[in-house]
Amino acid sequence: MTDEVRLHFDRADSCLAEADVLFQGRWYAAAVARAYYAMFHAATAALLHRDIRRRSHKGLISAFGQFLVKPGHVEAGLHKSFAEAFDLRQHSDYQPLVDLTENQANEVLARATKFVAACKGLVS
């Protein structure tokens, strides 16, 4: 594992911890944002491990599907969770009337934890 890959996984772990603290504080939109970024960093690390780089969030999500889901390295549900977390983060960050619920945030955090673990499994 390269230093860059390891640093992205370290960042993913930090984002998960931050998401948990925010969730406990009932800041659900912020918790979802940090959970999404945990997924973002884990996906970046898994793709970098295969020497695949993308410049945009949507490009990264697409590459995750193309290079990790389609060949069967990870289950398709992880790709769906990643894309849905991105959409929720986008809506809650940029649409002031969007109010995420405790249940929504809890689900995203659970999926993010599973996602990060799956990505780590790809490089071990």
pLDDT at 68: 97
pLDDT at 90: 92
Label residue 113 left, alpha or beta by phi (over 0 means left) and psi (-120 to 50 means alpha): alpha
- Between CA 31 and CA 25 the distance in angstroms is 9
Structure tokens that stand for 101 in this block:
């619920």
- Sorting pLDDT into bands at 50, 70 and 90, what band is 92? confident
pLDDT digits (tens, 9 = 90+) for 49-82: 999 999 999 999 999 999 999 999 999 999 999 9
Dihedral angle computed from the Cα positions of residues 26, 27, 28 and 32, in that order, rounded to the nearest 10 degrees: -130
Q: Is the pLDDT of residue 124 over 90?
A: no
Structure tokens that stand for 120 in this block:
């780590």
For residue 57, what are the domain limits?
3-123
For the chain, how many structural domains are there in total?
Answer: 1
- Sorting pLDDT into bands at 50, 70 and 90, what band is 25? very high
- 98: domain CATH number? 1.20.120.330
Q: Say which residue the tokens 């969030």 belong to.
A: 57
